Amino acid sequence: MTELFMTTLGDEGVEALAEAIHNASELTLLDLQGNKIGPRGAAALALVLPSLPQLHTLWLPSNLFGNEGVLSIALVLPRLPKLMDFDISFNHFGIEGSKALAKSIVAVESARGGVYFDDIEGVDLAALAYARAMALPKADTKPADAPAKAQCESPPCADDLSSGSFFVNALRQECSSLLAVAGSGRFLQGALESLGVEDLSALQVLDSSEIDAGLREARVPAAPRKQLSRCLHLALARGGAAETKSEKQVEL
């Protein structure tokens, strides 16, 4: 554990720290919030992060990274397989940095079978939703004659999940706050079956009126129906629509 909260390390200080913790393979927490670290320091930190394979918590808020520094961090996030708690808020970066971070975060989640981060701060939510939507598997990605594999421990292996169950699990995580309202979560599986939706590509062929009509046909009560509709529209955040929404976000 390394906590250097508000110690004003600056770029030179973090360069020295990076050298000191190089190959600290058992390090699980690195807290560098509020240390006036700029792009140069972020680049030095990015060089050492891949040597910390057990890192679980990385707190970098309230520094001076800018887009340049954030892009340096984004490049190495996929090399942190155990990372679950990530904060890079208040670092004066825009949507370009947020998109790069979102892509790297999803790369980490995909590599470990779809296990989401416990907490993410500072990344544009629309950019993250878009990146996660793009990572959802298609229905025809698994050959029909694929051999059965041994059951994995929790969390399950991605290869062992059908695209349908993976899609449902991804929706449950992405829409957790929406599905917690009015018991909406218990209607999700039935609603998807009524809509004939097994993956993202099947959802994309439906327009808003078809989604709403399908939820009514599934006899979903009014309050849960509203939450499920919001959840499904969130999953549809892709392409130009998602990017347009992302560009309207103010710089972090």
Indicate the domain borders of the chain: 1-123, 154-252
Give the separation between CA 224 and CA 160, rounded to whole angstroms.
30
| pLDDT tier for residue 137 given thresholds of 50, 70 and 90 | low
CATH superfamily of 1-123: Ribonuclease Inhibitor (3.80.10.10)
CB 165 within 8 A of CB 137: no
Counting Cβ atoms within 10 Å, is residue 212 exposed (0-12), middle (13-18) or buried (19+)? middle
Q: What pLDDT digit, counting tens, does each position of 42-80 carry?
A: 999 999 999 999 999 999 999 999 999 999 999 999 999
Give whole-number Cα distances, 37 to 5, 133, 195, in Å.
12, 33, 50
| pLDDT tens digits along 77-127 | 999 999 999 999 999 999 999 999 999 999 999 999 888 898 899 999 888
